[in-house]
Amino acid sequence: MLDLILSHDRIYSKWLEMGGGLASALILTKQQLKGFEKIVSSDQAWKSLLEIAARGRTQDAWLAADWPSGFDELVLCVPLCKLVDWECAKCTIGSRQSNFSCAHDNSLFGLIGTLVERQERRELLEHLKKIELMLEDKNYFWDISGVDIVSIPVNNK
């Protein structure tokens, strides 16, 4: 079941094959998140994820290229990161979380790693729904200090 998340190299290659644009980055990020949600929802796969995540996180600060031997939440959003060449302020997510990197523990994607580390499965599943909403609707922003999603009202004049 762990193969539901593509490795850094595989997701990057797939994104390039699909044209390397925003639309394909969003599609592939959503696919990665759906696969991750299935892993988190499965008792056996969740246990495996916790074991993988526990290996090396304190020694290796960036494990996105290590999946499935190591886990870093950024493996879920590689196409979005590559699209903007790691310039978070230009990213559809980074620009809506005060230009913070998704590597930040309280960022939209960074919180995934925090919740996995804390083994907060239910909260993680709820958080994945917030990420999906952020990917679907640009009127939502991530409050990195409040660690929650906020909606910006749209004027219908």
Whole-model pTM? Answer: 0.91
Least confident window among 15-29, 45-59, 120-134:
45-59
Q: Is the pLDDT of residue 88 over 80?
A: yes
Q: Is the pLDDT of residue 60 over 70?
A: no
Calpha distance 147→107 (Å, rounded): 7
Give the chain's mean pLDDT: 91
Reading the block at residue 138, the tokens are: 């640009």
Calpha distance 17→54 (Å, rounded): 33
Express as a percent the part of the chain with pLDDT over 70.
90
Query: Given this model, what pLDDT does residue 155 score?
Result: 61
Least confident window among 58-72, 82-96, 128-142:
58-72
Calpha distance 29→15 (Å, rounded): 10
Question: Which alpha helices (H) appear in the chain, and where do they start and end?
Answer: 8-17, 22-41, 43-54, 78-83, 110-117, 121-136
Least confident window among 29-33, 63-67, 115-119, 150-154:
63-67
